[in-house]
Structure 1
Amino acid sequence: MRRRFSLIFIIAILTIFAAGCGSDQSAEKTNGSNAGNDTKQEELTIKHQLGETKVKKNPEKVVVFDFGVLDTLDKLGVEVTGVPQANIPTYLSKYKDSKYENVGGLKEPDFEKISEIDPDLIIISARQQDAYEELSKIAPTIFLGIDTSRYMESFEKNTKTLGEIFGKESEVEEELAKVKESIEALHKKASESGKSGLVILANEGNISAYGPGSRFGLIHDVFGVQAVDENIEVSTHGQNISFEYIVEKDPDYLFVIDRGAVVEGSGGSSAKATVENELVKNTKAYKNDNIVYLDPNYWYLSGGGLISVAEMVKEIEKGIE
């Protein structure tokens, strides 16, 4: 009887021990699973011009309002969910496809559509900054606009931020190195030439000038083209000028950005007919065939992207040959 009782007791102890081991193994599996989820849910704190935002690493559903950011993500092979499909630069025309959600205009986000998407991240720039608070209520929102007064620093910071968010740090470093190398070569060439330049925006018959520190000031500040006028007013819309002003300053190079060529409802391009009038024909730029028409897709619509900045360098380099 005693022997039978001992056997039953031993079996009971073994059963309890086995159950305990099973529980431990189950706990280990659960913890391992949770660890994996923690990795997927890793959060970054992104500091930007409008504040600090907690962003999930490798977000799946991304809404992008800035075309410079979009071109960087395109270069890095990162997919997005929604974009403002009106006025998309021609080199990014694939984003007009119905596979991408149309999230409104550059200055008029479609809040209802964005809420419906329920994105993990929204990326904006200057044209949408007034909507920051409203967009932040829908999803984590970050501002990655370019500060034109420190263009390259701003461009590099934004690009590295995208690399960090999407796990593309090494790719970003490689692409930035290429851009820097091309800029160094251009700067040397432009500065050693000693020739001056003037940047103008043509808009429905009107013209405005941009100098150092301005929206298109990187031509002077970064690329090394001497400014024909160092005192041009710095503003988003440029300094209104007359054609007499162009004749008076008489730049070696006249760089023209045609807003009408890329803005819907503007009637298309008219810059050449506007700019190359009888007055301007008296300038060195015209006489030496140095009026350079820059692609507004890169300069006006996007800019600040890995693709656009590289192309902007090429355009200026070709223009001053």
Structure 2
Amino acid sequence: MRKFLLLFVISILAMVAVACGASESEEESEGTNADLTETVTVNHELGETDVPKNPEKVVVFDFGILDTLDKLEIEVAGIAKSGVIPAYLEKYAGDEYANIGSLKEPDFEKISEIDPDLIIISGRQASLYDQLTELAPTIHLGVDTTNYMDSFKENMAVIGDIYDKQDEIDKEITAIEESIATLNEKASKSGENALIILSNDDKISAYGQNSRFGLIHDVFGIPAVDESIEASTHGMNVTFEYVMEQDPDLLYVVDRTAVVGGESSAEQIVENELVKNTKAYKNDNIVYLNPDFWYLSGGGLVSVAEMVKEIDESLN
């Protein structure tokens, strides 16, 4: 009888141990699943979106954000290849990265096939936001040109939160801000003013404060030769007579033709007989800015740092 009772007690204890083990296993499993479904709530221009932490499959339409992810060594699944890709990001033209269409015409079928964890867009895709959200969590991380640096830093903070990269991003932004402070001091001492133009084949448009390229004035501290230029995405249509009349100390040129598949001829078009009458031409102060950074991929950790560097080098 005692032997029977002993065996019975041992059996009960074994069953309890198994049950406890199963319970612990379930708790561990639940903890793992919780980690996999952890999200970050992102407030952006088009809404509020819950984004999975450290998403594995990400498709990116904005080259500035791609620039940042590349700098941080974060992999992406697909980019908009049906167009010009900045030369310094040319590795993303490779077959290992899916083509999700163009900046204005996403390939919804390809995106659906990828089944991404996150879609990152900016201005050109804003009107398609609702359609894209049906495929995956979608966030808008475009740069507000009227508040460039704050907007840029907010976007970087979002990337930092999603990927636990805030320390690395803070280090990069600190370096950029220190470079801007140095540039501001240099710009103030130079006393030079500037005019920014976009060259598009044989046409030109001017950009002033709070415009697409306005951070040269608003952030970098170089005064605008004409403070009446209306802020707009496409700039103010002007003539070369206008450039001659404004007579800037510095003339900054962004060559659109060079990045949209055409043959670059900005120098031949810009440096004509009218412009040769300006101080900018006479003092060899016509600066052709790198359109990869200024036209295609502004707002990235690399592009913003390079933009600061280009303007700094342009000052005497």
User: SS at the partner of 2:134?
Assistant: helix
Gaps of 5+ in 2: none
Q: Are positions 1:196 and 2:196 aligned together?
A: no
Aligned residue number for residue 294 of structure 2: 299
Match of 1:134 among 131, 135, 144: 131
1:156-183 C-alpha deviation (Å, 9 max, x unpaired): 0101110111111111111111111111
Number of residue pairs aligned between Structure 1 and Structure 2: 315
Deviation at 1:14, TM superposition (A): 2.5
User: SS at the partner of 2:139?
Assistant: strand
Distance 2:215 2:263 in 1: 26
Q: Are positions 1:55 and 2:51 aligned together?
A: yes
Q: Which moved more, 1:112-121 or 1:160-169?
A: 160-169
Aligned residue number for residue 320 of structure 1: 315
Q: Which amino acid counterpart does residue 60 of structure 1 have in structure 2?
A: E
Q: Which moved more, 1:28-37 or 1:282-291?
A: 28-37
Aligned residue number for residue 148 of structure 2: 151
Does the CA-based 8 Å contact 2:190-2:315 persist in structure 1? no
Q: Are positions 1:160 and 2:161 aligned together?
A: no
Q: Which amino acid counterpart does residue 94 of structure 1 have in structure 2?
A: K
Query: What does 1:238-257 correspond to in 2, within 5 Å?
Result: 238-257=235-254
Q: Which moved more, 1:22-31 or 1:8-17?
A: 8-17
Aligned residue number for residue 15 of structure 1: 11
Aligned residue number for residue 66 of structure 2: 70
1:184-222 C-alpha deviation (Å, 9 max, x unpaired): 111110122111000000001110000010000000000
Q: Which moved more, 1:127-136 or 1:21-30?
A: 21-30
Q: Which amino acid counterpart does residue 35 of structure 2 have in structure 1?
A: T
Distance 1:146 1:41 in 2: 29
Deviation at 1:64, TM superposition (A): 0.2
Deviation at 1:74, TM superposition (A): 0.4
Does the CA-based 8 Å contact 2:79-2:98 persist in structure 1? yes
User: SS at the partner of 1:138?
Assistant: coil
Which structure: larger Rg? 1
TM-score by length of 2: 0.98
Q: Which amino acid counterpart does residue 284 of structure 1 have in structure 2?
A: K
Match of 1:283 among 278, 281, 304: 278
User: SS at the partner of 2:3?
Assistant: helix
Question: Any runs of at least 4 consecutive aligned residues in structure 1 with deviations exceeding 6 A, and if so which?
Answer: none
Aligned residue number for residue 119 of structure 1: 116
Distance 2:40 2:53 in 1: 7
Deviation at 1:306, TM superposition (A): 0.3
Distance 1:312 1:268 in 2: 23
Q: Which amino acid counterpart does residue 123 of structure 2 have in structure 1?
A: A
TM-score by length of 1: 0.96
Q: Are positions 1:183 and 2:153 aligned together?
A: no
User: SS at the partner of 1:254?
Assistant: strand
User: SS at the partner of 1:292?
Assistant: strand
User: SS at the partner of 1:78?
Assistant: coil
Deviation at 1:92, TM superposition (A): 0.3
Distance 2:188 2:212 in 1: 20
Q: Share of identical aligned residues, percent?
A: 58
Distance 2:80 2:3 in 1: 76
Deviation at 1:63, TM superposition (A): 0.1
Indicate the RMSD between aligned Cα atoms, in angstroms: 0.9
